């Protein structure tokens, strides 16, 4: 047991690596978009549709993988996801029709990617009683490294090889990095080596899984995460396009998006430290409020420097708040059902993320402006604030001392 406090940071490192590689593999599709279209003649819209399917598959699979991790442990789930992800990328590289590509990349790659987030977040919350917010934020920061690691790798590969060969190489990278890392994952000590309750103490969870999924804290977390992700998904997806409409050159506009992601790394760490010191709920509510206001900042941005300032602030905030949902989930529910609970909130977040790209496109096509998108994002952000304010952690009954 003396090694557990040290090994818990190994769990964080493994989770960060697994998340980085998995998310990076899925988000390689935008890098491959034009080469695939030029080589196959498939429409850009059709290829992009594979990403929409992947988002939806990831949302639904998050709940399924999370529930499975509660039953058989996170290692088996993450290992299975790693094998499926590597195989799916290899199969996608062999697709001969657009429908085949959409189904393989969208359903299989998206679903396999979801095998990392909920199980690893659940495991980390169980390994940490102190510094919990920082720990989950570090895992999230690892996932946030994908645009700065896997994306450049994909870009380098596609500049030297065909998209099919590049995707096959990525499948190999996934297998080589994720499968060994999965073997480092362990159940939290409380679940791996449960101790019998002394005479007179309550044993087992105080509520069933069904009761948990119908409880007010779970509904609040799901709703808050949905509106939180719906708030930032549109601005994230349409940042480059909006900047170009404001006269920013395309390459410079892409750098705005990169800066947003880089600022998110700092946000994850800062919000994690703040959550440990000030309380996760308090920091989450403040972050959601700042996110809503920051979305309006894009309305005032015209020059590249103004876009940089707004993007850095917005990225810092939206990335910072996301890991706090897992911390609040751990405060409200027993560790034995963390995978399911976090999987449920992740599913809501994935559904929220899927709304922004389509909504933003419809608004721009209808009005010829993105102003409505950013105003709507602010409103959605304020709804998330109002919902998060109602969160109350479930009170854990204190053990009754055994009679002398």
Residues 79-137 have pLDDT tens digits of 999 999 999 999 999 999 999 999 999 999 999 999 998 999 999 988 888 888 889 98
Q: 226 burial class (0-12, 13-18, 19+ CB within 10 angstroms)?
A: buried
Q: Would you state the structure tokens that stand for residue 239, as one six-digit string?
A: 């940042």
Helices (H), 131-249: 132-144, 146-160, 163-182, 189-192, 209-213, 216-245
Tens of pLDDT, residue by residue over 350-393, are 899 888 877 888 888 889 899 999 999 999 999 999 999 999 97
Superfamily of domain 4-189: MFS general substrate transporter like domains (1.20.1250.20)
Which residues does 126 contact at the CB level (< 8 Å), separation at least 6?
Answer: 187, 188, 190, 191, 330, 335, 338
The pLDDT value recorded for residue 198 is: 41
Domain with CATH 1.20.1250.20 in the chain: 4-189, 209-388
Q: What is the pTM of this model?
A: 0.79
Smallest CA-to-CA distance from 351 within 62, 85, 33, 23 is with: 62
Average predicted confidence (pLDDT) for the chain: 87
Q: For tokens 């900047």, what's the residue?
A: 243
CATH 1.20.1250.20 is the classification of domain 209-388: yes
What CA–CA distance (Å, rounded) separates 219 from 225? Answer: 10
pLDDT exceeds cutoff 50 at 400? no
What CA–CA distance (Å, rounded) separates 67 from 169? Answer: 31
């Amino acid at each position: 047991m003396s090694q557990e406090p040290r090994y818990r940071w190994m769990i964080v490192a493994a989770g960060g690596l697994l998340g980085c590689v998995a998310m990076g593999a899925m988000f390689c599709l935008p890098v491959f978009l034009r080469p695939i279209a030029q080589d196959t003649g498939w429409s850009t819209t059709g290829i992009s549709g594979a990403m929409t399917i992947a988002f939806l598959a990831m949302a639904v699979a998050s709940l399924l993988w999370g529930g499975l991790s509660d039953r058989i442990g996170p290692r088996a789930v993450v290992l299975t996801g790693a094998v499926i992800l590597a195989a799916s990328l290899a199969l996608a590289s062999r697709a001969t029709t657009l429908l085949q590509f959409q189904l393989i990349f969208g359903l299989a790659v998206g679903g396999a990617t979801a095998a990392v987030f909920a199980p690893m977040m659940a495991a980390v919350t169980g390994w940490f009683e102190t510094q919990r917010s920082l720990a989950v934020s570090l895992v999230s920061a690892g996932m946030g490294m994908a645009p700065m690691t896997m994306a450049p790798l994909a870009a380098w590969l596609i500049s030297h090889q065909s998209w099919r060969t590049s995707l096959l190489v990525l499948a190999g990278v996934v297998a080589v990095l994720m499968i060994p890392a999965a073997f480092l994952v362990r159940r939290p000590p409380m679940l791996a080596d449960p101790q019998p309750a002394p005479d007179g103490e309550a044993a087992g969870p105080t509520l069933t899984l069904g009761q948990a999924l119908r409880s007010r804290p779970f509904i609040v977390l799901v709703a808050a995460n949905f509106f939180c992700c719906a708030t930032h998904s549109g601005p994230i997806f349409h940042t480059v396009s909006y900047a170009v409409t404001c006269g920013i050159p395309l390459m410079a506009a892409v750098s705005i998006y990169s800066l947003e992601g880089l600022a998110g790394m700092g946000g994850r760490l800062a919000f994690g430290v703040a959550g440990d010191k000030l309380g996760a709920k308090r920091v989450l509510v403040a972050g959601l409020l700042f996110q809503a206001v920051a979305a309006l900042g894009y309305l005032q941005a015209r020059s590249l420097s103004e876009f940089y300032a707004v993007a850095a602030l917005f990225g810092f905030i939206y990335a910072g708040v996301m890991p706090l949902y897992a911390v609040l989930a751990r405060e409200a529910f027993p560790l034995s059902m963390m995978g399911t609970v976090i999987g449920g909130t992740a599913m809501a977040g994935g559904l929220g993320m899927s709304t922004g790209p389509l909504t933003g496109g419809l608004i721009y096509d209808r009005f010829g402006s993105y102003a409505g998108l950013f105003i709507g994002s602010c409103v959605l952000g304020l709804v998330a604030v109002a919902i998060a304010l109602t969160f109350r952690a479930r009170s854990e009954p204190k053990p009754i001392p055994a009679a002398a």
